Amino acid sequence: MDDSQLLSRLLTVIEQDILPKTQAGVVQGNKIFGAAILKKSDLSVVIAETNNEIENPLWHGEMHAIKKLYETTDRSSLPQPKNCIFLATHEPCSLCLSAITWSGYDNFYYLFSHENSRDNFNIPHDIRILKEVFGNEHNDNSLYNRNNAFWRSYSIKDMVEQLEETDAHRQLLLAQINRISTQYDNLSAIYQANKGAAGIPLA
């Protein structure tokens, strides 16, 4: 499977498996972040979840996906983390970076960057916490080590941009990203209109 096929599948999972859950969650007052875990072998979805901070401020999209995964009645059927792809709609915050690491995943892919969360969705906490708590103030590109001894991270947008202009899938992927981005813009507007009403500490 080449990169364009992988990217198409990841975007489809965001659009078809994560977004519907996020749409329902935002109506309740949750943030717009979601995540999914896929098998590397066939890219089937093991679990897809969304932010649930109105229940617990720690239930970010990634954290909630891991939590729900381990609530399964038959843990013996769960794939090993090393055999999975971890997909986040938005670049993981420091909490979720740690959760991915402690859970044993050796990769994660994300669509929207920390800068997108801050600038497009008016949720600046990821960058602010990384700077204030961990002292990474030099520039936004070095807030954390994107490739390290535990995992490698991949920006879906960057990967699409790096495809050859002649790649037939490139324009389709860009159109899919634009379609998904529009849906997240709409969800963000709903969340921002009601922000602070659900008791989330860092709304």
- pLDDT digits over 138-191, tens only? 655 568 888 999 999 999 999 999 998 888 899 999 999 999 999 999 999 999
Q: Which residue, 64, 46, 48, is CA-closest to 56?
A: 64
pLDDT given for residue 75 in this prediction:
86
Question: Distance between CA 2 and CA 39 in Å, rounded?
Answer: 16
pLDDT given for residue 199 in this prediction:
76
pLDDT given for residue 139 in this prediction:
56
Q: Which residue, 23, 61, 53, is CA-closest to 196?
A: 53
pTM for the full predicted model: 0.91
Cβ 37 vs Cβ 84: under 8 Å: yes
SS3 (DSSP) at 11: helix
Averaged pLDDT, 38-52: 98
pLDDT given for residue 136 in this prediction:
64
- Which tokens in the block code for residue 82? 């090393």
Q: Rounded to the nearest 5°, which phi and psi values hold at 39?
A: -75, 135
Position 16 pLDDT exceeds 90: yes
pLDDT in tens, 115-148: 999 999 999 999 999 888 887 666 555 688 889 9
pLDDT given for residue 134 in this prediction:
80
The DSSP annotation for 78-103 comes to SPPGGGEEEEEEE---HHHHHHHHHH
Average pLDDT value over all residues in the chain:
93
pLDDT given for residue 167 in this prediction:
82
Domains of the chain: 3-193 (3.40.140.10)
